[in-house]
Amino acid sequence: MSANLNLVKSSQSDGVFATNEDVFENDVTISSGYSSTVSGPVTIPNLTVAGHLNVINNLNVTGTLNVTGSMNFLG
């Protein structure tokens, strides 16, 4: 999994906001048994989803998209 998906920042005392870059330099893999969320618009070179991925807004995969798990698009 790209290190970009692991960035969590909080600038509010009331809660935590998860953030991700809008252009990923590395491929992203969501392994089986894992769920993840990415907020767009976002561009990813190659995306493999064996687990579950929630996509908020737009997703652009410039290379290969391989889904053996599930994806849910919101917004």
Given a cut of 70, whether residue 73 has pLDDT beyond it is: yes
| pLDDT tens per residue, range 22-45 | 999 999 999 999 999 999 899 999
Whole-structure pTM over 0.75, yes or no? yes
Give the residue extent of every domain in the chain.
3-74
- In sign, the C-alpha dihedral spanning 17, 23, 27, 30 is positive
38-64 CB burial, b ≥16 within 10 A, e <16: bbbebebeebbbbbbbebeeebebeee
**pLDDT at residue 1, rounded to an integer:** 43
With 0-12 CB in 10 A as exposed, 13-18 as middle and 19+ as buried, what is 11?
A: exposed
